[in-house]
Amino acid sequence: MDKQKEISIGFQLNGIQTLQFATFPKNLVEGKEANIDTNINFHVTPEHHIVSVSCRLEFLQKKNVFLMLEIGCHFSIAPDTWDSLLDKKNNEVRLPKGFATHLAVLTIGTARGVLHAETKDTPMNNYPLPTLNLTKMITKDAVIPLGKDNK
């Protein structure tokens, strides 16, 4: 069994954005169970050593969206660590699976708080974001190609 070399990654959260928030009250049947579609994406801004994680959540009942939230968390990566994540040969940034999962967990937790604040005093507040097993969603290193979309 090969063990990957563990590296210490210095980082800090330096920004949170609510990218989208919408409610569709006509699609909500209060008290009825909801399904949640979850999408996590990774982006980089290489010139600033930033890794961004976006999380889009759609709450549905019978395939009808009644609540949608998309947020982005932006993490500064320590300069000495950035080089260890950068693969110049393949023009990409590789986030080890454990680190990518950790950033996603922080982003989901942030989304949970944003969701609560945005739905406070509404019937939609009765649909909190449950815990999610992100290890089932992130099963390998996150590889982010560098190109015109990441500048």
pTM reported for the whole predicted model: 0.90
Classify 137 as helix, strand or coil: helix
How much is the pLDDT for 80?
86
What are the tokens at 53? Answer: 């994680």
- Does the pLDDT of residue 2 top 80, yes or no? no
Residue 6: predicted pLDDT: 58
For residues 20, 104, 46, 145, the Cα torsion angle rounded to the nearest 10 degrees is -90
The DSSP code for 136 is H
**Domains detected in the chain:** 11-150 (3.10.420)
On the question of pLDDT at 133 being above 50, the answer is: yes
